[in-house]
Structure 1
Amino acid sequence: MANIIMLMCFVILLATLEHTLAGAIDTTKPYSENPTVQKFQEYLQIDTSRPENIEQAVEFWRREAEALGLPFAVYSPGGRPVVVMTYEGANSSLPSIMLNSHMDVVEAVPEDWIYPPFSAYMDDEGKIYGRGAQDDKDISIEYIEAIRTLKENNITLQRTIHMTLMPDEETGGFDGMVPFARSEDFKRLNVGFALDEGLPTTDDTLIVTNVDKRPWQMEFTIRGVAGHGSSMQGMDTAAVKLRRLLDVIMEFREDQMKISDSLEKDDGSFTSVNVNIVQGGIATNIVPSEFRLVVDMRLAITAKASDMDEMISSWIMATGANTTVKFIRKVEESPATAVDDSNPYWVALQEAACEMNMTLSAILCPATSDMVQLRLLGIPALGFSPKPRTTNRVHGVNEYLSATTLMNGVDVYVRLLKKLGNLPL
């Protein structure tokens, strides 16, 4: 069946020779006057890199739900707000569709940006700059605007759609998706399939991620002999031990880079490793007694957790006595969602893509999303964001999304929801 669908898509693509995404933005109305664009800018202007501002985002979504007459709920299984908005389907017995995204974003250094990162500035080309423009406030707006389109056109789907917004995906989901997925409130949603954030592409191909790498984030504490800044304490200082630890980590990193450099678009075959935080020292004239090192690894698909544990133990031994490690995040399993004819949701996604002359490519997600928690429960989940011809600036400086891409994304989700929401059991 998949081959037939691909053939149909190819024939349609050759016949039409149209733009990859249907439903281009209405060029008769300036971007600045477009309500969807304005809503996106308003959402970007909420600095949700600060946990205390998440409540502002919750109120933003409360207003959107009230405007559309959607049931709105806030759950706090981990102490932080999880938002659920519901577009009720005609047949509540059918498993629902979950549209997930997260309200939080990573921090941004204003001095590094050409425009303030929480200004949502739009340039003359229609590019909207802001932290979260690609990761992933864009799909939240596209979700709600797609639901608005369906509602305004009196289209009732067979399946219920739940739009969910998490408070802390960027820091591991420990107060959001992790406890929520285990809660009775989540079970009552009767989720059969979920869509979540995806990745931008520089061409017209749209990426679908069906499995995430396993995150291992570790905090090493290295202790050694302290003393006056003018003294030479030998080989037992924290700084000397820190160097030993960095040496063994970088040796492993170089080996993984060689694997990475020998591959083409196969992020699952190597383990990424980066030293992201180094802290220590209390004064310019005191030899520090302690250093703290935070390391972020994303495990290769074939890596065994037991082997990785042994390697980390060997790092500690090489560093020396009084070195300890604490795991900030350690996911040992990350199941994959099928992307073949055995998965009716994937088939529906491909059919919708075909109708819109889009080409899909299923790959591994090199990072980690909230979908790991759903896949561990056996719920099929795919990462998907319609961001073609977009330079990837996720977590980078000058993150942006064009207004055209945003509006096209709404059209994409309208078509997808019609397919997924009417999929029979």
Structure 2
Amino acid sequence: MDDVAELCSRLIRVDTTNHGGGQSAGERDAAELVADTLAAAGIGSKLLERTPRRSNVVARITGHDPTLPALIVQGHLDVVPADPAQWTRHPFSGDITDDGYVWGRGATDMKDFVAMVLTVVATWAHEHRAPRRDIVLAFVADEEDTGAHGAEWLVDEHPHLFDGCGATISESGGYSYHVTHADGTPRRLYPIGTAERGTAHLRLTATGRAGHGSRRNDDNAVTKLITALDRIAHHPWPIRLTPAVTAYLQRTGAALGIPIDLSDVDTTLTRLGKAAPLVENTVRNSTRPTILKAGYKVNVIPSTATAEIDTRTLPGTEQELLTTIDTLLGEDITREFVNRNPAIQAPIDSPWFDAMTTAIRSQDPDAIVVPYCMGGGTDAKAFARLGIPGYGFAPLSLPEGFDYRAMAHGVDERVPVEGLHFGTRVLDHFLSSV
């Protein structure tokens, strides 16, 4: 069995770029590598495809106690595009450097997690161990687009594979985050994802009267659209404190000796200092214009103009947001959903969360483990449709100054080798005993 870093490197060297819109390098080669690794550990798996080469790998490991709800461990095999010209090292080199990093697209999103889970499973086989409960492994395609070839399709067409499952774990949580106590001493925060903002991506279409660009036109679709976008982009969305955000603020504040005032969240965020970025994007909904399309010739006023808005909603707030947007649009502008997934939240005070906390503290006794709400989204939303709560728990130990949150989808993505070893030990503890 390869060391976890070498396995992560091998996975990165397989180009699984997902360009969106159904355009992809395909996950098949990475899926076969995963399936072969599982087979070497004596675990059979299924390769499932909605379309050729868009592969998903699903396997079930039998635990000691079949009466317990199974746990889904799910990770995606696809990655977002990377331009080699912008990188220090080739994004699909999988280089393991002398300073202790594995480089490449997917190093933190999320071939690192796949490698750690596979290493745990191989260790169990080598040591003749088994988990306490059944573990369902799902390594899927298409998370970086719509999930239509991956988790969404599996949930729709093969839901029986997840019968009896009580929770899922996946990306975006359990990593060390360096913060400072009120007394100035350094502390390590480990956020576990217990909620995700919903996605309500919108397409706006403005209509007007076409005409010559040199003539007055008070029915200009472009002007209508950009005026509406300005109102939406600068609308002061109100603070809405959800259970995960409230728990993060209270527990982090208590652990760091920082006063928390839930009636004045903006001041509280200032007090939190380094701990604020983990929560500042999830105290409100957000509407950020990202795409504009209009016209075909500079001297022609078009009859239509469109824009797309990355809209994120906190649990229980979508209708409030949409009602407000409708008042901001103005005349002759319609909206439609480009992509829509509701916000999700999992129980914080649960045996699952407690077991994750214990697993992290088995490797870092001084860890401050707190729940948090993810600003974006993951495939946990698909499994939530089966009534299965999802947690962001892909543990890593990270050096101070390492900008982990800039790695995913960023340039020069890489993961520390020691962080992989730490995460593998934490996952072994958690998956063996939960």
The TM-score normalised by the length of structure 2 is 0.79
Q: Which residue of 331, 341, 358 corresponds with 1:331?
A: 341
Letter in 1 for 2:412: N
What is the aligned partner in structure 2 of residue 220 from structure 1? 204
Equivalent pair of 1:206/1:388 in contact (CA under 8 Å)? no
Q: Cα distance, 1:383 vs. partner? A: 0.6
2:226 corresponds, among 243, 251, 254, to: 243
Equivalent residues of 2:26, 2:55 under 8 A apart: no
Per-residue deviation, 1:97: 1.7
1:71 aligns with 2:44: yes
CA contact (8 A) 1:253 1:273 kept: no
1:296 deviates by 0.7
Mapped pair 1:202 → 2:177: yes
Unpaired segments ≥5 residues, structure 1: 1-32, 421-425
> Counterpart of 1:171 in 2: which secondary structure?
coil
**C-alpha contact (below 8 Å) 2:196/2:343 kept by paired residues:** no
Task: Output the amino acid matched with 2:335.
Answer: V
Equivalent AA in structure 1 for residue 419 of structure 2: T
Other-structure match for 1:18: none
* Displacement after TM superposition at 1:181 (Å): 2.6
Tell me if structure 2 keeps the 8 A contact 1:226–1:233: no
Q: Does 1:39 align with 2:23?
A: no
Aligned to 2:351: 344
| Mapped pair 1:269 → 2:252 | no
Aligned match of 2:261: none
Tell whether the 8 Å contact from 2:232 to 2:325 is kept in structure 1 after alignment: no
Q: Within 1, Cα distance between the matches of 2:41 and 2:302?
A: 58
Alignment of 1:78-117 (within 5 A): 80-117=54-91
Give the counterpart of 1:402 among 405, 412, 416: 416
Provide the residue aligned with 1:252 in structure 2. 235
Paired letter, 1:215 = T
Correspondence for 1:291: 305
Work out which of the residue numbers 132, 137, 150 in structure 1 matches 2:111.
137
Aligned partners of 1:96 and 1:192 also within 8 Å: yes
String of CA shifts for 1:183-214, please: whole Å, max 9, x gaps.
Answer: 45445542122211124443232220111111
Q: Taking structure 1 as the reference length, what is the TM-score of the superposition?
A: 0.80
Among residues 62, 76, 86, which one is paired with 2:35 in the alignment?
62
When residues 99 and 206 of structure 1 are mapped into structure 2, their CA distance, relative to the original with a 3 A threshold, is same
Deviation track 1:57-115 (CA, whole Å, cap 9, x = no partner) reads 22222222222221111234699533212322234443222111111222233333222
Higher RCO (CA-CA < 8 Å; seq separation 6+):
1
Q: 2:425 aligns with which of 411, 422, 425?
A: 411
**Which of 372, 375, 380 is 1:366 aligned to?**
375
AA aligned to 2:358 is E
**Is the contact made by 2:87 and 2:411 (CA closer than 8 Å) also made in structure 1?**
yes
Q: Secondary structure at the match of 1:346?
A: helix
* One-letter amino acid of the structure 2 residue matched with residue 374 of structure 1: F
Q: Give the SS at the match of 1:246.
A: helix
1:311 aligns with 2:333: no
Over the matched positions of the two proteins, sequence identity in percent amounts to 23
Task: Please list every run of 5 or more consecutive structure 2 residues that lacks an aligned counterpart in the other structure.
Answer: 19-23, 179-187, 240-263, 270-275
Kept in 2: contact 1:44–1:118 (CA 8 A)? yes
How far the C-alpha of 1:409 sits from its partner, in A, is 1.4
| Contact in 1 for aligned 2:233/2:289 (Cα 8 Å) | no
> Compared with structure 1, are the counterparts of its residues 173 and 149 closer, same or farther at alpha carbon in structure 2 (3 Å cutoff)?
same
Q: Contact conserved, 1:207 with 1:385, CA < 8 A, in 2?
A: no
Give the drift of 1:222.
2.6
Amino acid at match of 1:39: L
2:388 to 373, 379, 391: 379
Cα offset, 1:126, TM superposition? 1.8
Is the alpha carbon distance of 1:221 and 1:60 closer, same or farther for their aligned partners in structure 2, counting shifts above 3 Å?
farther
Q: SS of the residue aligned with 1:225?
A: coil
Q: Is the Cα–Cα contact under 8 Å of residues 141 and 147 in structure 2 kept in the other structure?
A: yes
Report 1:120-159 matches (<5 A): 120-159=94-133
Q: Which amino acid is the alignment partner of residue 394 of structure 2?
A: S
SS in 2 for 1:169: coil
Residues 58 and 83 in structure 1, CA contact (< 8 A), matched pair in contact too: yes
Report the RMSD for the aligned CA atoms in angstroms. Answer: 2.8
Aligned mates of 1:226, 1:45 — CA distance in 2: 51
Moved more, 108-117 or 143-152: 108-117
- Contact 1:139–1:197 (8 Å) recurs in 2: yes
Aligned residues: 379
Query: How far apart, in 2, do the equivalents of 1:261 and 1:78 lie?
Result: 48
How far 1:337 moved relative to its partner? Answer: 1.7
Aligned to 1:355: 362
Distance 1:280 1:236, change over 3 A: same
Deviations 1:326-347 (A, max 9, x none): 202223452x22222xx22222
Measured at CA, do residues 233 and 110 of structure 1 come closer, stay the same or move farther in structure 2, by a change above 3 Å? farther
* Residue 269 of structure 1: how far off its partner (Å): 1.9
